[in-house]
Amino acid sequence: MNILIKIIFSATLLFIPLAMNADAYGIPDVRDDIEHDIPLADAIKQANKRFPSRQPLTEDEVIAAVRAMKLEDPNISEAIYKIYQRVADERILPRGMYFSYISRWTTDYGDFVVDWKDLTLMSLPLGTKDADIGYGYKYRIRARFVSWEPVEVINVPTKLK
């Protein structure tokens, strides 16, 4: 099941200069060419290289997930929806959009190894609020659970003797 996540960037990001490259933003998944549209095939190739998986992303998977956005979030703003639909309609990754990856999720119920791939849209310059899309939006295009282990409980004394 796709999981939808809206994101709000920290107010501290408001002061990042536009001239900084993606690594300087402090968000490791942001692609270096974030200021430009790129072909979807190239973006997927880059994502698969950066985030190796037994099941690499495919154009069909990304397009199917993007087409299903309204099913996951019927209240998505039309401006954001239109930008994401460019992925499917034009087979491009629009400027301000990048793939991100989550490999672990630790909860009170255990430590999960996951293969979660998100298609993230951010306002540019990073940290500014765009009139149409706000600060950004994150859409989970893959939510796969790989394994689970119980969380180890460590007893820490509350008082020193």
How far is the CA of 118 from the CAs of 44, 54, 144, in angstroms? 12, 17, 12
Residue bearing the bigger pLDDT, 96 or 158: 96
Q: What are the φ/ψ torsions at residue 113 (nearest 5 degrees)?
A: -90, 125
Residue 156 in this model has a pLDDT that exceeds 50: yes
* pLDDT at res. 32: 83
Instruction: Measure CA 84 to chain center.
Output: 13
* pLDDT at res. 124: 72
* pLDDT at res. 102: 92
Total length of the chain = 161
Q: Which two tokens stand for residue 100?
A: 């991100």
Determine how many CB atoms are found less than 10 A away from the CB of residue 160. 4
Residue bearing the bigger pLDDT, 18 or 129: 129
